[in-house]
A and B are shown apart, each in its own frame.
Chain A
Amino acid sequence: MSYWSFERFFEAWPYILKGLHITVGVTISAFLFALVFGLVWTFLRRIPERHINWIVTWVMEFIRSTPPLVQLFFIYYAWPEIPVVGVTLSPFVSAVVGFGIHFSTYIGEIYRSGIESVENGQWEASTALNFSLLDKWRLIILPQAFPPTIPMLGNYFIIMFKEVPIASTIGLTGILHMANSFGSEHFNLIEALTIVGIIFLVLSYPSARLIKKLEVKLNTRFDKNQVIDPIE
């Protein structure tokens, strides 16, 4: 038996691509979830109360320090066993919630550094012009805080995309799962896994380039705003 067969390689493509919409769908949904939930963390952390602040900080730290795989297992296997609040979620929903919550803690930090990169003078000028608190955020602070975070958010989108295959362990029928089942049917994984690699390369690389471009463009407009990546 040869290690590599082009016949199998071409046969595997349509089979594996059937999982693509699941992988991409989970990535996009989980990212949207994280964008919204990240905002929740950001505002929770701004509550000027020491105890709340402490709790929120440690919950975030806990979520960030636990592997996403463990969190997926918890949501998919353990959560339904908890009385009263436990519900059974499909692999798709579990993955969206799991990745969404995990990455929301990073995204909350990105928002925070974006907000902190806006100079205090901007707050003072908007007070001097008598803006309401809501208008200060809406018209002055967030429009300046958000653009410099876009490249970093993009990076997390790609990082998350590359993490999504681990959800095949809870039965998510994405491309890795499809590759696995194709491989075991044909007693050979090499072509199927190569295809998975190619798909990730083809999708990630242009996205990364796009983000780089965006970053250069934004840096020329917002030259003095610096946002700190929570991972660095």
Chain B
Amino acid sequence: MTKPIVEYKDVHKSFGDVEVLKGIDLDIFPAEKIAVIGPSGSGKTTIIRMLMTLEEPTDGDIIVDGKNLWKMEKNGKMVEADEKHLREIRGDIGMVFQHFNLFPHMTILENCMTAPIHVKGENKKEVKQRSIDMLERVGLGDKINNYPSQLSGGQKQRVAMARALVMRPKIMLFDEVTSALDPELVGEVLEVIRDIAKNDDMAMVLVTHEMDFALDVADKVLFLDDGVIAEQGSASDVIEHSENPRVQEFLSRFRG
């Protein structure tokens, strides 16, 4: 039995007085592909942002590869993690955002190269080759010297994926990466994610509204409702055979 690479243990999150996550327990195993579905405002984004260290949990623990992400030991006591501690762990995690967040002042090749060089101190030549390979893989080999503003939304999102992948994370997070795109560009982005999901051995957590896609790539689906994991199981169990009325109601909206 392999050990999980990420464990959420009774994780709570409040914004002000409003508790948006009410006790999340979740194991993510190496190479596992998890789809997170659920109504708007149920806390899907917040779950993965806490793992990316963009949001701090109010309570509970997130363990990454055996290390507590948000807490550290200091003089025999557990205290809040500092930036140095977060940086040591964060390198295992990568994220792709809904609005791409590419660096507009850099070419797309530079977008991919800057972090491996400056964060990991890797050899520039090697990083360049790897970045070019990755951009070719996502179908943008002919655009490496373009700036983000010269690309379509779908192309930008594929660059964002390449940029995250060249860092070789163990866990990749995707937050509704197709929902800011024109409908005709969604397919090309899902195709790239499908390719990564089928061929790479990273763990992946995908927040998505694309049910067919979740059925196709996810090993496990979580249905989040009002801050709790209301249902989880294999993709077909949750999406096709769930008895839970909340799940059925939610899914009925996608079946026109």
Mask, B44-73, CB within 8 Å of A = 1, is 000000001110000000000000000000
Residue in B closest to A223 when the chains form the complex, CB atoms: B149
Within 8 Å of chain B (Cβ to Cβ): is A2?
no
A136: shortest Cβ distance to chain B, in Å? 10
| Bound-state Cα–Cα, A53 to B114, Å | 34
Asked whether, in the complex, the Cβ of B103 is within 8 Å of the Cβ of A122, the reply is: yes
Select one of B53, B99, B114 contacting A127, CB under 8 A: B53
- Among B13-21, B87-95, B225-233, the one that faces the other chain is B87-95
Partner pick for B167 among A119, A129, A143, A223, CB 8 A cutoff: A129
With A125-B97, A128-B54, A130-B91 as contacts: A135 and B104 at CB distance below 8 Å: no
Asked if A121 and B97 make an inter-chain contact with CB atoms under 8 angstroms apart, the answer reads yes
Tell me whether A139 and B97 are in contact (CB under 8 A): no
Which A142-162 residues have a C-beta within 8 angstroms of B?
A: 143-144, 147
**How far is it, in angstroms, between the C-alpha of A143 and the C-alpha of B114 when the chains are bound?**
14
- Tell whether A63 is near chain B: CB-to-CB under 8 Å: no
**Interface size bucket, B side?**
20 to 34
Number of A-B contacts defined by CB within 8 Å: 56
Q: Which residue of A lies closest to B104 (CB)?
A: A144
Interface flag for A170 (CB, 8 Å): no
Binary CB contact string for chain B from 89 to 125 against chain A (1 if under 8 A, 0 otherwise): 0110111010101111100000000110011000000
Interface hits, B200-230 → A, CB 8 Å: none
Which residues from chain A contact B163 at a C-beta distance below 8 Å? 129
Residue B35 at the chain A interface, CB threshold 8 Å: no
- Given known pairs A129-B167, A130-B91, the reply for A124 and B101 (CB within 8 Å) is yes
Does B189 lie at the interface of the complex (its beta carbon under 8 Å from any beta carbon of A)? no
Instruction: Given A128-B94, A139-B118, check contact A133 B101 (CB 8 Å).
Output: no
Chain A residues within 8 Å of B87, by CB: 130, 132
B83 at the interface (CB under 8 A from A): yes
- The A179-232 residues at the B interface (CB cut-off 8 A) are 222-223
A131 contacts B by Cβ under 8 Å: yes
A132–B88 CA distance with the chains assembled, in angstroms: 11
| A20 at interface by CB-CB < 8 Å | no
The answer to whether the Cβ of B164 comes within 8 Å of any Cβ in the partner chain is yes
Residues of A close to B95: CB separation below 8 A: 128
Query: B104–A222 contact, CB under 8 A?
Result: yes
Q: What's the Cα separation between A121 and B101 when bound, in Å? A: 5
Query: A143 to chain B: which residues have CB within 8 Å?
Result: 105
Other A-B contacts than A128-B90, A128-B97, A223-B149, 16 sampled, CB-CB below 8 A, are: A119-B101, A121-B97, A121-B101, A122-B103, A124-B101, A125-B97, A125-B102, A127-B52, A127-B53, A127-B90, A128-B94, A129-B119, A130-B87, A130-B167, A132-B119, A144-B105
Q: Can you spell out 5 A-B residue pairs with CB atoms less than 8 angstroms apart? A: A125-B97, A127-B52, A128-B164, A130-B119, A135-B119
